[in-house]
Amino acid sequence: MAKKTLVIFGITGDLASRKLLPALWNGFLNGRFKDLSIWGVGRKPWGNAGLHKNAREVCEPKDEKAWQAFEKKLEFFRVDVEDEKEFNGFCEKLDGRSDLLFMLATLPSLYEKISARLGKLENKGYRRLMIEKPFGHDLKSARALHAELAKDFGEEVYPMDHYLGKSAVRNIVVLRFSNPLFEPVWNNQYIQSVQIIQTEQQGVGHRAAFYDETGALKDMVQSHLVQMLARVAMECPKKWVPAEVAKEKAIVLEALRPSDDIVFGQYAGYEKEVGHASNTETFVALKAFIDTPRWKGVPFYLLAGKNLESRFAQIVITFKPMHYNVPALPSTLTITLQPEEKFILKVNLKRAGESELEPFKMEYCESCEIRPRSPQAYEVLFEEALEGKKTFFTWWPEIEAAWEFVEAVQKKAKGKKPLTYKPGSPIPKAAEKIVDWKEYGE
C-alpha cells in the first residue's frame, strides 16, 4: 500500500481537470508522487474507468508506459458529501490508512461540512487539508471559516494560492535578498512605483453565478495580486522559516491602504451572461500605499480584469530617474508570470557611435529554458503540503489583512457604478487616468 494518500474532493470539476490532474501527471514525470495514491471524489457516475478516461484526455500523455503506472494510482469514489451515510461509508475506507492529504476542489459552501467529518477520522499518520480560494467572502466569514477548519485540523490547514507555487513569484525574494544589486535600492528613495497586473481574455464563462457574487476585487486582488505585492514589499524575515515569512507578509498587508483612485469596470454583455442587472466589476484598477518606512509615498498600482485584449500577469518595478543632466527613461524590472515566467531588467545604455541613451533589456525566461516539463504551480504546492511545508501557502493573518484591504476599497468605491468596456478591448481609458499602463510592460 502506498504510504500517502491524496484525496481530491471535486475530481469531476473544472479545477481538477484543468489544473490538478495535469500537475500531478507532470509531477509524476518529474519523479514526484511515487509513493502516493490519488483518490478522487465526485458525484458523477464515473467509476475508475471514467476518471482514467478524463485524466487521459486532460493530461495528453505521450509516454504510455509511464501513463499506465500513473493511472494505477488514480481511484474514483462516487460520494455525495451531503449524504451522511454515503460520506461516512467513504470515511471508513480512510480510517485504516496512513498519511492523508485532502484537497478541497469543490464548492466553498461544503468546506466546513467536509472538514468536520474528516476531522473525526482515525487514520494512523498525519491529516492535512488544502483549500482553494475563496477563503470566505469577507473578513467576518474568513475568520469564521478559519475557526471552523482549525477545530478539525488545527495548524494543518493549507490555504493555497497557486500563484505562490509559480517559480517567478517564489524567486522574487531570492532576487531581492540574495543580490546586493537590488536590496539597497528597494525602497522609496529609488523606486518610483510598483505595478501589479493580471488580465485575461476570457469572460466569466460557465462560472457566471459564482463570479457575480464575487467580482474582480475579491477574486483577483484579495488573493493573487496582494500575495504578489506582499512578496515584493515584505521585509527580510529574521529566519527563513515559514512562520517568519508569513509574519513579514502580514505586516506589509496590514499597512496597505487604498487611495481614492479606484476604477471599476464591467464588460458589455456581462449582464446578459449572468441573466440579470448587475453592478459586479469584471475589471478593477486602483492605487494603494504601504505605510511603512521603506515604502512611504510609493504608489502600488493594482489592476485585474476579464475579457480584455491580452492575457498577461506581471509586476513592474519602476526606478526613479537619476539626477544627471542626461535625458533617460526610468529603469524598470519586470517580472512576468504569464504568458511566460521571465525577469526583464531594462537599463539605459548607448549604442556604439550614438550619443542618445536607449533602453536595453536583459532577460531571463525560466519557463522557456526548462521546458518541456517545468514544474507546475499546483505540482509544487502538492509536494510541499505532502511534506508539511507551508512556505508557499497563505497564512490566516495575511488572508485577514487582505480582506481588510478589500473592505477599505469597497468602502471608498461605495455607490460607484462600474464603467462599461468593450470585450477584447485594451485597458479601459478611465484606468489610464490612474497610471499610464501602456508605458510599461515588456
Residue closer to ligand NAP, measured from CB, 130 or 246 = 130
The DSSP call for residue 308 is B
Residue closer to ligand NAP, measured from CB, 82 or 84 = 82
Stretch that binds ligand NAP, among 79-87, 240-248, 393-401, 428-436 (CB under 6 A): 79-87
Q: Which of 58, 107, 274, 329 binds ligand NAP (CB under 6 A)?
A: 107
The DSSP call for residue 263 is E
* Residue-wise DSSP of 372-437: SSPPPHHHHHHHHHHTT--TTS--HHHHHHHHHHHHHHHHHHTTPPPEEE-TTBSS-HHHHTT--G
- Residues 281, 264: contact at Cβ < 8 Å? yes
Residue carrying the nine cell digits 485584449: 309
Distance CA 297, CA 288 (A): 10
Residue closer to ligand NAP, measured from CB, 87 or 312 = 87
Residue closer to ligand NAP, measured from CB, 23 or 41 = 41
Stretch that binds ligand NAP, among 92-100, 104-112, 122-130, 398-406 (CB under 6 A): 104-112
* 12 touches ligand NAP (CB under 6 A): yes
Order of all β-strands in the sheet with 283-290 = 357-365, 342-350, 332-338, 312-319, 191-199, 300-305, 283-290, 256-267, 419-421
* 15 touches ligand NAP (CB under 6 A): yes
Secondary structure class of 133 (helix, strand, coil): coil
* 44 touches ligand NAP (CB under 6 A): yes
Per the annotation, the verdict on 224 as an active-site residue is: yes
Residue closer to ligand NAP, measured from CB, 11 or 313 = 11
Secondary structure class of 286 (helix, strand, coil): strand
| C-alpha closest to that of 160 among 442, 441, 432, 380 | 380
Q: Which of 132, 200, 254, 384 binds ligand NAP (CB under 6 A)?
A: 132
Residue closer to ligand NAP, measured from CB, 79 or 228 = 79
* 82 touches ligand NAP (CB under 6 A): yes
Q: Whole-number minimum distance, CB 5 to ligand NAP, in Å?
A: 17
Q: Whole-number minimum distance, CB 377 to ligand NAP, in Å?
A: 11
Distance CA 88, CA 22 (A): 29
* 81 touches ligand NAP (CB under 6 A): yes
Q: Whole-number minimum distance, CB 209 to ligand NAP, in Å?
A: 10
Distance CA 161, CA 107 (A): 16
* 224 touches ligand NAP (CB under 6 A): no
Can you read off the three cell numbers belonging to residue 293? Answer: 518606512
Q: Whole-number minimum distance, CB 395 to ligand NAP, in Å?
A: 18
Please report how many Cα atoms fall inside a 13 Å half-sphere around the Cα of residue 277, on the Cβ side. Answer: 1
Q: Whole-number minimum distance, CB 302 to ligand NAP, in Å?
A: 18
Residue closer to ligand NAP, measured from CB, 208 or 329 = 208
Closest residue by beta carbon to ligand NAP: 13
Distances (CA, A) of 381 to 23, 175, 182: 10, 21, 28
CA 99 to chain centre: 26
Q: Whole-number minimum distance, CB 206 to ligand NAP, in Å?
A: 8
Binding-site residue total for ligand NAP (CB under 6 A)?
Answer: 21
Spell out the residues 6+ positions from residue 417 whose beta carbon is closer than 8 angstroms to its own.
264, 279
Q: Whole-number minimum distance, CB 17 to ligand NAP, in Å?
A: 8
User: 352 φ, ψ to 5°?
Assistant: -55, 130
Residue closer to ligand NAP, measured from CB, 105 or 315 = 105
* 213 touches ligand NAP (CB under 6 A): no
Distance CA 136, CA 141 (A): 5
Q: Whole-number minimum distance, CB 258 to ligand NAP, in Å?
A: 24
* Contact set for ligand NAP, span 136-195 (CB under 6 A): none
Q: Which of 35, 63, 80, 155 binds ligand NAP (CB under 6 A)?
A: 80
* 441 touches ligand NAP (CB under 6 A): no
Catalytic residue among 52, 146, 224, 276: 224
Distance CA 346, CA 332 (A): 5
Active site residue ranges: 224
Per CB under 6 A, residues contacting ligand NAP are: 10-15, 41-44, 79-82, 105-108, 132-134
